[in-house]
A and B are shown apart, each in its own frame.
Chain A
């Protein structure tokens, strides 16, 4: 495992089921438990190829990735820093699908 990987600085491709792919930094991807399991050091296909399939359509996957980025940037935020509400960014069309 390279040092780059440990720092979470390399890129991971997240693919939606309708063929879109989103490239995110590893430490963003690792915000998700599922993705983390996939990318763990057990050398499954996902970890080797750095591609994680997500079984959703692109719009939902995008919001999902956006949430991960949001979480990554505010997770270690200062308690007195103002954190914008993520809920405002969710469009009503995809809300249901995101929920489930």
Chain B
């Protein structure tokens, strides 16, 4: 209620005092002079009330149009005056070449423009205040622009026009260019100017002058500028430097847009930067010789790599490119490792084959090599794995630090590792060997945490292997050796490894491995019981102390036929005794002796002193042959062979380790490094060694020789056939009817966790199953039906 009284007051008052019939001309003349005063910054001499009343009176006395147009004319007049006075004198001469001078000229122009703009807006503000009544009453009814709008409009028409407009734009572009070249300019001049332009608009749809005239020019100029810049940088800089520069450019432009261009320009400018500096050169940069991605990784330039990642992640093309380059890089390194390992392997293999093939030519050449070819091969395998691990570490670090753990990159890395590890024909074997070596020796004196780290690392490699079944086979073999020879350092570590494998591949994968552990434990129990048994019934106790490990044949990788060996009576007696004991406790079981896997401690009296020798079972058998012989007597190879019935390859190996290795317990005639069928042997009574206990390890074929490998391959193949069969039948049992493609896909999917099945092989297996009438082909020749009758029988044959 009270507020109405306050508002109405000024309206009503004058009408009462002056009445409607005031002198229009006189009022207008007065107002004109007042407005001029305002335009000359003399507002403080005027009374607002008076001015307001004049405007009010003119509007009330229906002089709106006259007032409006009059004000417009006055504004135009003032604008022209301002332009004349301030802007025109500052037009750049265009003669200056020095960037500093140019920049100053531009700055002067922009400052002048800004001054004009500020004066103008100031004036218009005041006018709009005075003429508020006109705005409220006349402007609305006449549907024309409000005073402030009118002011802007007139400003555009009379100031932002050629040639002033062109000069302004040129000045701004010039300043931009100068700053990009690294000189300092007065940013605030541009800011003010741009602000003004941002508020102005000369088109009906409200696009600002900035957007319409200035921005396109800026973008165009930036585009050419940076295109040239990219060319120049590519020629003069290496990759890290280029990236550094580009990054600086990005942040510069960002701050430029923030500080004195409009924010709306920021995005297009960044896009231009990406388009000119990054996208066309992504590959070139990554591949740059002497400084590209490869070199950066080589030199651990983590900072540069982070920068690379940041920049590449800006553009959509960046990630794939980076990923590709990384992959190439890894592949190249991996293949190098592979080829190094293969080359030396071939040398080693050559030696090994020479050894097997006793042709005269090969012998001479191979002489130096064969004894250590096994060790060499092992070292090679270990080195390969270590190199791969090292490589992986390196890339992981780069990935973690520089690439911010990007998932995409990670999968690229993994792919790359897979792509070079899998083609290596013996990756599985080597990795398993590496684990073997670590669990055997490497872990001694290391803390649990370190063990964990090593195992974890190996597991990551394991993950890359597609043929997991091959790995399993090797691992099993190595584990068996470790367990039987009691070489494993720590039970915990073994179990830890198993647990990890279990996590990776599931229960199926490790069930047999765990069975092996279980067997070891059972055997220990059984031995204890056996000892007690012997204690009770001393009559048939054997003279040798034996320790038997009972192995479940399906768990242990020794399912092949036992190596024949004629045991000396002493051992036969001992084994019989245990056999009796064992079978009495577990009826229905069959014990098969595997002397090839055992070892023995034997005390031998040499001339100098007695030594405790630890030898393999075979070596023991051979040594026992010499027990009964006199000092200088010989046994020929053939004699030994017929006495022991040990097959040639084993016999040679054992004889070699006894007669040709570091500890020459036997003498070979003629002496030499290789064992030949026409050699003969005698006991070396002169043998002496500072050590009391001597371990004579069989010359080991630790890394498989060619033949063994082939055998392993065959076994793997066979197992795969069973698994494929089983998988197909399982699927068909479930679905009853399936098309060929679906079946192949499904089988592939199921088998992929163990190895990478070949569709062709699956097809073969399907055919084999059809032959055996597990499946039948449907009429359409493209799908199969399951024949239920075979189920139970089938499970008997191939349950993995």
Q: Mark B1-31, 1 if CB is under 8 A from A, else 0.
A: 1100111111011001100000000000000
Name the contact of A45 in the complex, choosing from B46, B52, B129, B132 (C-beta under 8 A).
B46
B795 interfacial contact with A, CB 8 Å: no
Question: Taking the nearest CB of chain A, how far is it from the CB of B411, in angstroms?
Answer: 60
State whether the Cβ of B126 lies closer than 8 Å to any Cβ in chain A: yes
Cβ of A43 and Cβ of B7 under 8 Å apart?
A: no
Could you say which of B1, B13, B48 contacts A37, with CB atoms under 8 Å apart? B48
Q: Is the CB of B2 within 8 A of A44?
A: no
Is B536 part of the contact surface with A, judged by Cβ < 8 Å? no
B40-54, CB under 8 A of A: which get 1 and which 0?
Answer: 000111111101100
Q: How far is the CA of A46 from the CA of B47 in the complex (A)?
A: 6
* Cα distance A32–B4 in the bound complex, in angstroms: 11
> Nearest CB to that of B48 among chain A residues?
A44
Known contacts being A42-B48, A45-B44, A45-B45, is A100 close to B8, with CB within 8 Å?
A: yes
> For the side of the interface on B, what is the size category?
20 to 34
Tell which of B2, B7, B44, B47 touches A67, judged by Cβ atoms closer than 8 Å. Answer: B2
Residues of B within 8 A of A47 (CB): 44, 48
Contact with A along B564-605 (1 / 0, CB 8 A): 000000000000000000000000000000000000000000
- A28 contacts chain B at the CB level, 8 A cutoff: no
Residue B125 at the chain A interface, CB threshold 8 Å = yes
**A12 interface residue per 8 A CB criterion:** no
Let me know if B5 and A44 touch, CB within 8 A. no
What is the interface residue range for chain A against chain B? Answer: 20 to 34
Residues of A within 8 A of B13 (CB): 55, 100
Q: How far is the CB of A36 from chain B (nearest CB, A)?
A: 10
A42 close to B126 (CB less than 8 A): yes
Report if A37-B125 is in contact (Cβ < 8 Å); known contacts: A42-B43, A45-B47, A100-B8.
Answer: no
The answer to whether A53 and B2 touch (CB under 8 A), given A40-B129, A44-B43, A100-B12, is: no
Query: CA of A16 to CA of B484 in the docked complex: distance in angstroms?
Result: 117
Q: How far is the CA of A45 from the CA of B37 in the complex (A)?
A: 12
Residues of chain B contacted by A98 (CB below 8 angstroms): 5
The answer to whether B129 touches A46 (Cβ under 8 A) is no
A48 lies within 8 A of B132 (CB): no
A73 in contact (CB, < 8 A): no
Collect the chain B residues with CB atoms within 8 Å of residue A71's CB.
2
**A48 to B, closest residue via Cβ:** B44
Q: Which residue of B lies closest to A51 (CB)?
A: B47
Min CB gap A90→B, angstroms:
9
Residue among B5, B8, B17 with the highest chain A CB neighbour number at 10 A: B5
Is the beta-carbon distance between B49 and A42 smaller than 8 angstroms?
no
A53 to B48, CA, bound (A): 10
Contacts of A38 in B (CB 8 A): 48-49
Interfacial chain A residues near B2, Cβ < 8 Å: 67, 71, 86
A37 to B50: give the CA distance in the assembly, Å: 12
State the Cβ distance, A98 to closest chain B Cβ, in Å. Answer: 6
Q: Are B125 and A42 in contact (CB under 8 A)?
A: yes
Report the minimum CB–CB distance from B14 to chain A (whole Å).
9
The answer to whether the Cβ of A5 comes within 8 Å of any Cβ in the partner chain is no
Q: Which A residues are CB-close (under 8 A) to B132?
A: 37
Distance (Å) between the CB of B6 and the closest chain A CB?
5
Q: Does A1 contact B (CB under 8 A)?
A: no
Contacts of A99 in B (CB 8 A): 5
Closest to B14 in A: A55
Is A33 interfacial (CB 8 A cutoff)?
A: yes
With both chains docked as a complex, state the minimum distance between the C-beta of B439 and any C-beta of chain A, in angstroms: 79
Are A46 and B49 CB-contacts (below 8 A) given A34-B10, A67-B2?
yes
Question: What's the nearest-Cβ distance from chain B to residue A38, in Å?
Answer: 5
Q: Which of B6, B12, B43 contacts A43 (CB 8 A)?
A: B43
Collect the chain B residues with CB atoms within 8 Å of residue A100's CB: 5, 8-9, 12-13, 16
Residue picked from A33, A42, A64, most chain B C-beta under 10 Å: A42
Contact at B43–A34, with CB atoms within 8 Å? no
Indicate whether A37 sits within 8 Å of B9 (C-beta atoms), given known contacts A42-B43, A43-B43, A43-B44. Answer: no
CB-nearest residue of chain B to A34: B10
Most buried by A among B2, B10, B16, B43: B2
The 26 sampled A-B contact pairs (Cβ below 8 Å) are: A32-B6, A34-B6, A34-B7, A38-B49, A40-B129, A42-B43, A42-B48, A43-B44, A44-B44, A45-B43, A45-B45, A45-B46, A45-B48, A46-B48, A46-B49, A47-B44, A52-B49, A53-B47, A53-B49, A55-B13, A55-B17, A64-B6, A67-B6, A87-B1, A100-B9, A100-B13
- What 7 pairs between A and B have smallest CB-CB spacing? A44-B48, A48-B44, A42-B126, A38-B48, A45-B47, A43-B44, A43-B43
- B positions within 8 Å CB-CB of A: 1-2, 5-10, 12-13, 16-17, 43-49, 51-52, 125-126, 129, 132
A43-B43, A44-B51 are known; give 15 further A-B pairs, CB within 8 A: A33-B6, A33-B7, A37-B52, A38-B49, A42-B48, A44-B46, A44-B48, A45-B43, A45-B46, A46-B47, A46-B49, A53-B49, A55-B17, A86-B2, A100-B9
